[in-house]
Amino acid sequence: MKVQGSAYPESIWIRNKELDYINVTLRKNVEEKQIEKENDVETVYEYDEVTIKLVDRPNLEEYVQNNFDALFNLGLQQETTPPFPTEEERIQAVEDALLILSLGGI
């Protein structure tokens, strides 16, 4: 996904931990652009960015650096894949199915 920011981005941003997973944001193809606004010129950076979840492991940053391109491509694939249903959505689907079955089907 193309993103813009006013600060030059780090290529790897190891963010927060959720249970045994770490959210990692990867950035590449950084381009500096000058945008004129009123009487001022503003510098912005435009780049490709993906966020992936990785299992926490020792030397995580080194692992990400060594596998950057493969992980970035994985992030691109995950952006186009629909997310897994949440636990609540799964429970609701089961309850709906049981209701339909108890009423004799559709």
Q: What is the pTM of this model?
A: 0.72
Which pLDDT belongs to residue 65?
96
Which pLDDT belongs to residue 81?
81
Which pLDDT belongs to residue 78?
86
Which pLDDT belongs to residue 67?
96
Which pLDDT belongs to residue 72?
97
Q: How many CB atoms lie within 10 A of CB 54?
A: 17
Which pLDDT belongs to residue 17?
82
Which pLDDT belongs to residue 106?
65
In the sheet that 12-18 helps form, which strands lie side by side, from edge to edge? Answer: 2-5, 40-55, 21-37, 12-18
Which pLDDT belongs to residue 103?
86
The tally of domains found in the chain comes to 1
**Whole domain around residue 70: which residue ranges?**
2-102
User: What are the residue ranges in the chain where pLDDT is below 70?
Assistant: 106
Place of tokens 């249903």: 85
Beta strands in 56-98 (DSSP E): none
